[in-house]
Structure 1
Amino acid sequence: MSLPDYGSGFAALRTACPEDWHAYTRHAFLDALQDGSLPRSDFLSYLRQDYVFLIHFARAWSLAVVKAGSLAEMQAASATVHGLLHHEMALHIRLCAAAGISAADLAATEEATGNLAYTRYVLDAGLSGDFLDLLAALLPCVLGYGEIGARLIATAGETPYRDWIGTYGGETYQQICREAGALFDMALRDRLGEAAQTLPRWRQLERHFRVATRLEAGFWRAGLA
Protein backbone atom coordinates (compact mmCIF):
# COMPACT_ATOMS: atom_id res chain seq x y z
CA MET A 1 0.00 0.00 0.00
CA SER A 2 1.09 3.61 -0.54
CA LEU A 3 2.27 5.65 2.39
CA PRO A 4 -0.14 8.22 3.82
CA ASP A 5 0.55 11.81 2.84
CA TYR A 6 1.51 13.87 5.87
CA GLY A 7 3.28 16.62 3.95
CA SER A 8 6.51 17.20 2.09
CA GLY A 9 8.66 18.18 5.08
CA PHE A 10 7.95 14.98 6.95
CA ALA A 11 8.47 12.91 3.79
CA ALA A 12 11.91 14.49 3.32
CA LEU A 13 12.93 13.78 6.92
CA ARG A 14 11.72 10.18 6.65
CA THR A 15 13.66 9.72 3.41
CA ALA A 16 16.84 11.01 5.07
CA CYS A 17 16.95 8.09 7.54
CA PRO A 18 15.47 5.08 5.72
CA GLU A 19 17.11 2.35 7.81
CA ASP A 20 16.17 3.92 11.13
CA TRP A 21 12.63 4.56 9.91
CA HIS A 22 12.25 0.97 8.74
CA ALA A 23 13.57 -0.36 12.05
CA TYR A 24 10.94 1.72 13.84
CA THR A 25 7.86 1.28 11.67
CA ARG A 26 8.48 -2.38 10.71
CA HIS A 27 9.56 -3.68 14.10
CA ALA A 28 8.86 -7.24 15.27
CA PHE A 29 6.69 -5.82 18.07
CA LEU A 30 4.30 -4.52 15.41
CA ASP A 31 4.30 -7.81 13.52
CA ALA A 32 3.25 -9.52 16.74
CA LEU A 33 0.54 -6.91 17.30
CA GLN A 34 -0.74 -7.45 13.80
CA ASP A 35 -0.98 -11.24 13.95
CA GLY A 36 -2.02 -11.37 17.60
CA SER A 37 1.02 -13.32 18.80
CA LEU A 38 2.25 -10.59 21.16
CA PRO A 39 1.93 -11.82 24.77
CA ARG A 40 -0.73 -9.88 26.64
CA SER A 41 1.70 -9.13 29.45
CA ASP A 42 4.11 -7.48 26.99
CA PHE A 43 1.31 -5.41 25.50
CA LEU A 44 0.12 -4.20 28.89
CA SER A 45 3.66 -3.35 29.95
CA TYR A 46 4.06 -1.32 26.77
CA LEU A 47 0.73 0.43 27.34
CA ARG A 48 1.72 1.46 30.84
CA GLN A 49 5.02 2.91 29.69
CA ASP A 50 3.37 4.61 26.73
CA TYR A 51 0.83 6.21 29.04
CA VAL A 52 3.64 7.78 31.05
CA PHE A 53 5.34 8.75 27.80
CA LEU A 54 2.22 10.52 26.53
CA ILE A 55 2.01 12.68 29.64
CA HIS A 56 5.47 14.10 28.90
CA PHE A 57 4.77 14.14 25.17
CA ALA A 58 1.68 16.28 25.74
CA ARG A 59 3.86 18.66 27.75
CA ALA A 60 6.26 18.87 24.81
CA TRP A 61 3.41 19.69 22.41
CA SER A 62 2.23 22.28 24.93
CA LEU A 63 5.71 23.78 24.73
CA ALA A 64 5.10 24.08 20.98
CA VAL A 65 2.28 26.50 21.80
CA VAL A 66 4.81 28.64 23.67
CA LYS A 67 7.41 28.38 20.90
CA ALA A 68 4.91 29.09 18.11
CA GLY A 69 5.30 32.21 16.03
CA SER A 70 1.67 32.80 15.07
CA LEU A 71 -1.87 32.19 16.22
CA ALA A 72 -2.32 29.56 13.51
CA GLU A 73 0.68 27.63 14.83
CA MET A 74 -0.61 27.92 18.39
CA GLN A 75 -4.02 26.61 17.35
CA ALA A 76 -2.52 23.66 15.44
CA ALA A 77 -0.22 22.70 18.31
CA SER A 78 -3.00 22.99 20.88
CA ALA A 79 -5.25 20.79 18.72
CA THR A 80 -2.59 18.08 18.84
CA VAL A 81 -2.35 18.42 22.63
CA HIS A 82 -6.12 17.95 22.81
CA GLY A 83 -5.92 14.84 20.62
CA LEU A 84 -3.23 13.33 22.82
CA LEU A 85 -4.98 14.03 26.11
CA HIS A 86 -8.54 13.24 25.10
CA HIS A 87 -8.20 10.66 22.32
CA GLU A 88 -4.95 8.73 22.49
CA MET A 89 -4.62 8.52 26.27
CA ALA A 90 -8.25 7.44 26.52
CA LEU A 91 -7.29 4.31 24.55
CA HIS A 92 -4.65 3.40 27.14
CA ILE A 93 -7.02 3.96 30.05
CA ARG A 94 -9.73 1.89 28.38
CA LEU A 95 -7.50 -1.05 27.45
CA CYS A 96 -5.79 -1.15 30.83
CA ALA A 97 -9.13 -0.94 32.66
CA ALA A 98 -10.35 -3.95 30.68
CA ALA A 99 -7.29 -5.83 31.98
CA GLY A 100 -7.98 -4.85 35.59
CA ILE A 101 -5.42 -2.04 35.79
CA SER A 102 -7.01 0.96 37.47
CA ALA A 103 -6.41 4.55 36.45
CA ALA A 104 -4.52 5.07 39.71
CA ASP A 105 -2.26 2.07 39.04
CA LEU A 106 -1.67 3.28 35.51
CA ALA A 107 -0.68 6.75 36.70
CA ALA A 108 1.68 5.21 39.27
CA THR A 109 3.69 3.33 36.62
CA GLU A 110 7.43 3.77 37.17
CA GLU A 111 9.05 5.37 34.15
CA ALA A 112 11.57 3.12 32.38
CA THR A 113 15.03 4.48 31.63
CA GLY A 114 14.55 4.43 27.87
CA ASN A 115 11.22 6.19 28.24
CA LEU A 116 12.82 8.89 30.36
CA ALA A 117 15.65 9.36 27.86
CA TYR A 118 13.23 9.77 24.96
CA THR A 119 10.82 12.20 26.55
CA ARG A 120 13.57 14.36 28.02
CA TYR A 121 15.37 14.45 24.68
CA VAL A 122 12.26 15.83 23.01
CA LEU A 123 11.69 18.38 25.76
CA ASP A 124 15.33 19.45 25.62
CA ALA A 125 15.13 19.87 21.84
CA GLY A 126 12.29 22.33 22.39
CA LEU A 127 13.74 24.13 25.38
CA SER A 128 17.19 24.61 23.86
CA GLY A 129 16.03 25.08 20.28
CA ASP A 130 13.18 26.73 18.41
CA PHE A 131 9.79 25.70 17.08
CA LEU A 132 11.30 23.73 14.19
CA ASP A 133 13.71 21.83 16.43
CA LEU A 134 10.83 20.80 18.66
CA LEU A 135 8.61 19.70 15.78
CA ALA A 136 11.40 17.65 14.18
CA ALA A 137 11.80 15.74 17.45
CA LEU A 138 8.02 15.34 17.93
CA LEU A 139 7.04 14.13 14.46
CA PRO A 140 8.49 10.57 14.53
CA CYS A 141 6.05 9.60 17.25
CA VAL A 142 2.90 11.27 15.95
CA LEU A 143 3.36 10.54 12.26
CA GLY A 144 5.13 7.22 12.73
CA TYR A 145 2.15 5.87 14.66
CA GLY A 146 -0.12 7.22 11.96
CA GLU A 147 1.85 5.44 9.25
CA ILE A 148 1.94 2.24 11.30
CA GLY A 149 -1.78 2.42 12.04
CA ALA A 150 -2.69 3.02 8.39
CA ARG A 151 -0.65 0.00 7.32
CA LEU A 152 -1.86 -2.36 10.03
CA ILE A 153 -5.54 -1.48 9.75
CA ALA A 154 -5.43 -2.33 6.05
CA THR A 155 -3.77 -5.71 6.54
CA ALA A 156 -4.49 -6.99 10.06
CA GLY A 157 -6.71 -10.01 10.43
CA GLU A 158 -8.31 -11.24 13.63
CA THR A 159 -6.15 -9.98 16.48
CA PRO A 160 -6.88 -9.07 20.11
CA TYR A 161 -5.12 -5.78 19.44
CA ARG A 162 -7.62 -4.55 16.87
CA ASP A 163 -8.70 -1.67 19.15
CA TRP A 164 -5.12 -0.33 19.30
CA ILE A 165 -4.71 -0.68 15.53
CA GLY A 166 -8.08 0.94 14.90
CA THR A 167 -7.22 3.96 17.01
CA TYR A 168 -4.05 4.82 15.10
CA GLY A 169 -5.35 3.74 11.71
CA GLY A 170 -8.72 5.43 12.18
CA GLU A 171 -9.78 8.74 10.70
CA THR A 172 -9.59 10.76 13.94
CA TYR A 173 -5.92 10.00 14.44
CA GLN A 174 -5.12 10.21 10.73
CA GLN A 175 -6.53 13.74 10.71
CA ILE A 176 -4.27 14.63 13.66
CA CYS A 177 -1.34 13.39 11.56
CA ARG A 178 -2.32 15.39 8.50
CA GLU A 179 -2.65 18.53 10.59
CA ALA A 180 0.71 17.96 12.31
CA GLY A 181 2.40 17.45 8.95
CA ALA A 182 0.77 20.59 7.55
CA LEU A 183 1.93 22.53 10.60
CA PHE A 184 5.52 21.46 9.96
CA ASP A 185 5.31 22.42 6.29
CA MET A 186 3.89 25.83 7.19
CA ALA A 187 6.57 26.41 9.83
CA LEU A 188 9.31 25.48 7.37
CA ARG A 189 8.04 27.88 4.72
CA ASP A 190 7.60 30.73 7.19
CA ARG A 191 11.07 30.37 8.71
CA LEU A 192 13.29 28.87 6.00
CA GLY A 193 11.47 29.55 2.74
CA GLU A 194 10.68 27.17 -0.10
CA ALA A 195 14.22 25.73 -0.31
CA ALA A 196 14.53 24.67 3.34
CA GLN A 197 16.21 21.36 2.51
CA THR A 198 19.13 23.10 0.81
CA LEU A 199 20.06 25.09 3.93
CA PRO A 200 22.54 24.04 6.65
CA ARG A 201 19.71 24.43 9.16
CA TRP A 202 18.00 21.39 7.66
CA ARG A 203 20.81 19.10 8.87
CA GLN A 204 19.93 19.92 12.50
CA LEU A 205 16.29 19.07 11.90
CA GLU A 206 17.33 15.77 10.32
CA ARG A 207 19.43 14.99 13.39
CA HIS A 208 16.53 15.58 15.79
CA PHE A 209 14.23 13.47 13.63
CA ARG A 210 16.76 10.64 13.36
CA VAL A 211 17.50 10.51 17.09
CA ALA A 212 13.81 10.49 17.98
CA THR A 213 13.18 7.74 15.42
CA ARG A 214 15.89 5.59 16.98
CA LEU A 215 14.42 6.18 20.43
CA GLU A 216 11.03 5.07 19.09
CA ALA A 217 12.53 1.79 17.88
CA GLY A 218 14.06 1.37 21.33
CA PHE A 219 10.59 1.70 22.81
CA TRP A 220 9.43 -1.34 20.81
CA ARG A 221 12.53 -3.30 21.84
CA ALA A 222 11.77 -2.57 25.48
CA GLY A 223 8.21 -3.75 24.93
CA LEU A 224 9.42 -7.13 23.73
CA ALA A 225 11.91 -7.38 26.59
Structure 2
Amino acid sequence: MDLFGRLRRDADTEWQAYTGHAFVRRMGDGTLPEASFRHYLVQDYLFLIHFARAYALAVYKGRSLGEMRAAHEGLKAILDMEMNLHVKLAGDWGVSAAELEAAPESRATMAYTRFVLEAGLRGDLLDLHVALSPCVIGYAEIGEALARVQEGEGNPYRVWIDEYTGEPYRAVAASARDNLDRLAARALTEVRYPDLLTLFRQACRLEADFWQMGLTLAD
Protein backbone atom coordinates (compact mmCIF):
# COMPACT_ATOMS: atom_id res chain seq x y z
CA MET A 1 0.00 0.00 0.00
CA ASP A 2 1.36 3.41 -0.92
CA LEU A 3 1.49 6.30 1.54
CA PHE A 4 -1.67 7.98 0.26
CA GLY A 5 -3.63 4.73 0.48
CA ARG A 6 -2.43 4.20 4.03
CA LEU A 7 -3.37 7.74 5.08
CA ARG A 8 -6.80 7.45 3.46
CA ARG A 9 -7.43 4.12 5.16
CA ASP A 10 -6.37 5.36 8.60
CA ALA A 11 -8.39 8.59 8.25
CA ASP A 12 -11.46 6.86 6.82
CA THR A 13 -13.98 8.79 8.95
CA GLU A 14 -12.62 12.15 7.87
CA TRP A 15 -12.11 11.00 4.27
CA GLN A 16 -15.70 9.81 3.93
CA ALA A 17 -17.04 13.03 5.47
CA TYR A 18 -15.08 14.96 2.84
CA THR A 19 -15.62 12.88 -0.28
CA GLY A 20 -19.21 11.93 0.55
CA HIS A 21 -20.36 15.37 1.66
CA ALA A 22 -23.88 16.46 0.69
CA PHE A 23 -22.40 19.16 -1.57
CA VAL A 24 -20.59 16.47 -3.55
CA ARG A 25 -23.57 14.14 -3.71
CA ARG A 26 -25.82 16.93 -4.93
CA MET A 27 -23.37 17.88 -7.65
CA GLY A 28 -23.54 14.28 -8.80
CA ASP A 29 -27.32 14.14 -9.04
CA GLY A 30 -27.62 17.72 -10.29
CA THR A 31 -29.73 18.98 -7.35
CA LEU A 32 -27.14 21.34 -5.86
CA PRO A 33 -28.56 24.90 -5.90
CA GLU A 34 -26.76 27.10 -8.41
CA ALA A 35 -26.19 29.73 -5.71
CA SER A 36 -24.25 27.17 -3.67
CA PHE A 37 -22.08 26.20 -6.62
CA ARG A 38 -21.40 29.84 -7.50
CA HIS A 39 -20.39 30.63 -3.94
CA TYR A 40 -18.13 27.58 -3.84
CA LEU A 41 -16.55 28.39 -7.20
CA VAL A 42 -15.66 31.96 -6.21
CA GLN A 43 -14.11 30.77 -2.97
CA ASP A 44 -12.32 27.93 -4.73
CA TYR A 45 -10.71 30.45 -7.08
CA LEU A 46 -9.32 32.30 -4.05
CA PHE A 47 -8.36 28.98 -2.52
CA LEU A 48 -6.36 28.07 -5.64
CA ILE A 49 -4.40 31.31 -5.48
CA HIS A 50 -3.08 30.25 -2.07
CA PHE A 51 -2.55 26.67 -3.18
CA ALA A 52 -0.43 27.99 -6.05
CA ARG A 53 1.67 29.75 -3.41
CA ALA A 54 1.97 26.45 -1.54
CA TYR A 55 3.31 24.74 -4.65
CA ALA A 56 5.70 27.65 -5.21
CA LEU A 57 6.91 27.05 -1.65
CA ALA A 58 7.40 23.39 -2.57
CA VAL A 59 9.57 24.47 -5.52
CA TYR A 60 11.70 26.55 -3.13
CA LYS A 61 11.97 23.68 -0.65
CA GLY A 62 12.91 21.12 -3.30
CA ARG A 63 16.25 19.47 -2.58
CA SER A 64 16.75 18.35 -6.16
CA LEU A 65 15.68 19.38 -9.63
CA GLY A 66 13.33 16.39 -9.66
CA GLU A 67 11.53 17.61 -6.55
CA MET A 68 11.42 21.15 -7.92
CA ARG A 69 9.98 19.97 -11.23
CA ALA A 70 7.34 17.86 -9.49
CA ALA A 71 6.18 20.91 -7.52
CA HIS A 72 6.29 23.03 -10.66
CA GLU A 73 3.91 20.61 -12.39
CA GLY A 74 1.42 21.09 -9.55
CA LEU A 75 1.80 24.86 -9.81
CA LYS A 76 1.18 24.76 -13.57
CA ALA A 77 -1.91 22.57 -13.11
CA ILE A 78 -3.43 25.19 -10.82
CA LEU A 79 -2.52 28.27 -12.83
CA ASP A 80 -3.09 26.85 -16.32
CA MET A 81 -5.83 24.25 -15.80
CA GLU A 82 -7.99 24.60 -12.71
CA MET A 83 -8.13 28.39 -12.58
CA ASN A 84 -9.00 28.55 -16.28
CA LEU A 85 -12.01 26.32 -15.60
CA HIS A 86 -13.18 28.69 -12.87
CA VAL A 87 -12.77 31.73 -15.12
CA LYS A 88 -14.72 30.02 -17.89
CA LEU A 89 -17.61 29.02 -15.62
CA ALA A 90 -17.73 32.43 -13.94
CA GLY A 91 -17.62 34.11 -17.34
CA ASP A 92 -20.82 32.28 -18.26
CA TRP A 93 -22.44 34.16 -15.33
CA GLY A 94 -20.93 37.50 -16.40
CA VAL A 95 -18.27 37.48 -13.66
CA SER A 96 -14.74 38.42 -14.71
CA ALA A 97 -11.44 37.00 -13.44
CA ALA A 98 -10.74 40.36 -11.79
CA GLU A 99 -14.05 40.16 -9.92
CA LEU A 100 -13.24 36.64 -8.78
CA GLU A 101 -9.86 37.72 -7.44
CA ALA A 102 -11.37 40.73 -5.65
CA ALA A 103 -14.02 38.71 -3.81
CA PRO A 104 -13.70 38.54 0.00
CA GLU A 105 -12.41 35.27 1.41
CA SER A 106 -14.71 33.17 3.55
CA ARG A 107 -13.56 31.90 6.92
CA ALA A 108 -13.42 28.34 5.55
CA THR A 109 -11.13 29.49 2.74
CA MET A 110 -8.81 31.28 5.12
CA ALA A 111 -8.71 28.38 7.57
CA TYR A 112 -7.82 25.77 4.97
CA THR A 113 -5.32 27.72 2.91
CA ARG A 114 -3.42 29.08 5.90
CA PHE A 115 -3.30 25.60 7.41
CA VAL A 116 -1.58 24.25 4.30
CA LEU A 117 0.85 27.15 4.01
CA GLU A 118 1.73 26.89 7.71
CA ALA A 119 2.30 23.14 7.37
CA GLY A 120 4.74 23.83 4.57
CA LEU A 121 6.52 26.68 6.29
CA ARG A 122 6.92 24.75 9.53
CA GLY A 123 7.70 21.35 8.07
CA ASP A 124 9.47 19.79 5.11
CA LEU A 125 8.28 18.74 1.66
CA LEU A 126 6.61 15.59 2.95
CA ASP A 127 4.54 17.57 5.47
CA LEU A 128 3.52 20.04 2.76
CA HIS A 129 2.53 17.42 0.19
CA VAL A 130 0.58 15.38 2.74
CA ALA A 131 -1.38 18.53 3.62
CA LEU A 132 -2.02 19.16 -0.10
CA SER A 133 -2.92 15.58 -1.01
CA PRO A 134 -6.59 15.39 0.04
CA CYS A 135 -7.31 18.23 -2.38
CA VAL A 136 -5.17 17.36 -5.38
CA ILE A 137 -5.72 13.60 -5.26
CA GLY A 138 -9.16 13.70 -3.70
CA TYR A 139 -10.70 15.80 -6.46
CA ALA A 140 -9.72 13.19 -9.04
CA GLU A 141 -11.37 10.45 -6.97
CA ILE A 142 -14.48 12.59 -6.37
CA GLY A 143 -14.73 13.38 -10.08
CA GLU A 144 -14.47 9.71 -10.97
CA ALA A 145 -17.18 8.78 -8.46
CA LEU A 146 -19.51 11.51 -9.69
CA ALA A 147 -18.98 10.53 -13.33
CA ARG A 148 -20.51 7.15 -12.48
CA VAL A 149 -23.64 8.59 -10.88
CA GLN A 150 -24.36 11.89 -12.63
CA GLU A 151 -27.81 12.02 -14.14
CA GLY A 152 -27.47 12.12 -17.91
CA GLU A 153 -26.39 14.96 -20.15
CA GLY A 154 -28.51 17.54 -18.32
CA ASN A 155 -26.45 17.72 -15.13
CA PRO A 156 -25.57 21.44 -14.73
CA TYR A 157 -22.25 20.46 -13.11
CA ARG A 158 -21.10 18.19 -15.90
CA VAL A 159 -18.31 20.61 -16.95
CA TRP A 160 -16.84 20.52 -13.43
CA ILE A 161 -17.12 16.73 -13.26
CA ASP A 162 -15.55 16.31 -16.69
CA GLU A 163 -12.63 18.56 -15.72
CA TYR A 164 -11.67 16.36 -12.79
CA THR A 165 -12.18 13.09 -14.65
CA GLY A 166 -10.23 14.19 -17.72
CA GLU A 167 -6.85 12.70 -18.50
CA PRO A 168 -4.89 15.92 -17.80
CA TYR A 169 -6.17 16.16 -14.22
CA ARG A 170 -5.94 12.43 -13.58
CA ALA A 171 -2.28 12.65 -14.61
CA VAL A 172 -1.76 15.47 -12.10
CA ALA A 173 -3.31 13.40 -9.31
CA ALA A 174 -1.30 10.30 -10.21
CA SER A 175 1.90 12.33 -10.26
CA ALA A 176 1.10 13.81 -6.84
CA ARG A 177 0.52 10.33 -5.45
CA ASP A 178 3.81 9.05 -6.86
CA ASN A 179 5.60 12.10 -5.50
CA LEU A 180 4.35 11.34 -2.00
CA ASP A 181 5.97 7.94 -2.19
CA ARG A 182 9.26 9.37 -3.44
CA LEU A 183 9.32 11.80 -0.53
CA ALA A 184 8.30 9.09 1.93
CA ALA A 185 11.12 6.82 0.78
CA ARG A 186 13.57 9.43 2.01
CA ALA A 187 11.80 11.03 4.97
CA LEU A 188 9.10 8.74 6.42
CA THR A 189 9.62 6.80 9.64
CA GLU A 190 7.07 4.96 11.74
CA VAL A 191 7.69 7.42 14.55
CA ARG A 192 6.78 10.26 12.19
CA TYR A 193 3.72 8.65 10.59
CA PRO A 194 1.19 9.67 13.32
CA ASP A 195 2.09 13.32 12.76
CA LEU A 196 1.50 12.98 9.02
CA LEU A 197 -1.80 11.25 9.70
CA THR A 198 -2.84 14.16 11.92
CA LEU A 199 -2.04 16.58 9.06
CA PHE A 200 -4.03 14.47 6.61
CA ARG A 201 -7.04 14.19 8.92
CA GLN A 202 -7.10 17.93 9.53
CA ALA A 203 -6.89 18.66 5.80
CA CYS A 204 -9.84 16.33 5.18
CA ARG A 205 -11.87 18.06 7.89
CA LEU A 206 -11.08 21.44 6.34
CA GLU A 207 -12.13 20.11 2.92
CA ALA A 208 -15.48 19.06 4.38
CA ASP A 209 -15.83 22.49 5.97
CA PHE A 210 -15.16 24.03 2.56
CA TRP A 211 -18.00 22.04 0.98
CA GLN A 212 -20.26 23.05 3.87
CA MET A 213 -19.38 26.68 3.30
CA GLY A 214 -20.58 26.35 -0.28
CA LEU A 215 -23.72 24.50 0.69
CA THR A 216 -24.81 27.05 3.30
CA LEU A 217 -23.43 30.16 1.55
CA ALA A 218 -21.42 30.95 4.67
CA ASP A 219 -19.07 33.93 4.73
Range into which the TM-score falls when normalised by the shorter chain: over 0.9
- Greater CA drift, 102-111 or 78-87: 102-111
For the aligned residues, what is the CA RMSD?
Answer: 1.0
> In structure 2, what is the equivalent of residue 218 of structure 1?
209
Q: How many angstroms apart in 2 are the aligned matches of 1:94 and 1:85?
A: 13
Of the three residues 154, 159, 175, the one matched with 1:179 is: 175
Q: How many angstroms apart in 1 are the aligned matches of 2:19 and 2:116?
A: 19
Q: How many angstroms apart in 1 are the aligned matches of 2:157 and 2:174?
A: 24
Of the three residues 130, 134, 139, the one matched with 1:140 is: 134
Contact residue 50 and residue 113 of structure 2 kept, 8 A: yes
> In structure 2, what is the equivalent of residue 84 of structure 1?
78
> In structure 2, what is the equivalent of residue 4 of structure 1?
none
Q: Could you list the per-position Cα deviations for residues 90-111 of structure 1 after superposition, in whole angstroms to 9, with x for gaps in the alignment?
A: 1100000001111221111100
Q: How many angstroms apart in 2 are the aligned matches of 1:28 and 1:139?
A: 21
Contact residue 29 and residue 149 of structure 2 kept, 8 A: no
Q: Deviation above 4 Å: which 4+ runs of structure 1? A: none
Contact residue 150 and residue 170 of structure 1 kept, 8 A: no
> In structure 1, what is the equivalent of residue 3 of structure 2?
9
Q: Secondary structure at the match of 2:214?
A: helix
Q: Could you list the per-position Cα deviations for residues 152-193 of structure 1 after superposition, in whole angstroms to 9, with x for gaps in the alignment?
A: 12321230100000001111100000000001100110223x
Which one-letter code corresponds to 2:113 in the other structure?
T
Q: How many angstroms apart in 2 are the aligned matches of 1:60 and 1:133?
A: 12
> In structure 1, what is the equivalent of residue 186 of structure 2?
190
Q: What is the CA distance between 1:35 and its match in structure 2?
A: 1.1
Which one-letter code corresponds to 2:202 in the other structure?
V
Contact residue 151 and residue 169 of structure 1 kept, 8 A: no
Q: What is the CA distance between 1:70 and its match in structure 2?
A: 1.5
Q: Could you list the per-position Cα deviations for residues 21-56 of structure 1 after superposition, in whole angstroms to 9, with x for gaps in the alignment?
A: 000001110111111111111111100000000000
Q: Secondary structure at the match of 2:6?
A: helix
Q: What is the CA distance between 1:210 and its match in structure 2?
A: 0.6
Contact residue 122 and residue 137 of structure 1 kept, 8 A: yes
Contact residue 46 and residue 223 of structure 1 kept, 8 A: yes
Give the unaligned 5+ runs of structure 1: 1-6
Contact residue 93 and residue 103 of structure 1 kept, 8 A: yes
Of the three residues 20, 41, 44, the one matched with 2:14 is: 20
Of the three residues 187, 197, 200, the one matched with 1:206 is: 197
Of the three residues 30, 34, 47, the one matched with 1:53 is: 47
Which one-letter code corresponds to 1:48 in the other structure?
V
Q: How many angstroms apart in 2 are the aligned matches of 1:184 and 1:103?
A: 32
Contact residue 13 and residue 209 of structure 1 kept, 8 A: yes
Contact residue 150 and residue 168 of structure 1 kept, 8 A: yes
Of the three residues 82, 89, 94, the one matched with 1:95 is: 89
Q: How many angstroms apart in 2 are the aligned matches of 1:93 and 1:200?
A: 43
**What's the TM-score once normalised by structure 1's chain length?**
0.93
Contact residue 77 and residue 172 of structure 2 kept, 8 A: yes
Give the unaligned 5+ runs of structure 2: none
Q: What is the CA distance between 1:68 and its match in structure 2?
A: 1.6
Q: How many angstroms apart in 1 are the aligned matches of 2:61 and 2:194?
A: 20
Percent of aligned pairs with the same residue?
47
Q: Secondary structure at the match of 2:47?
A: helix
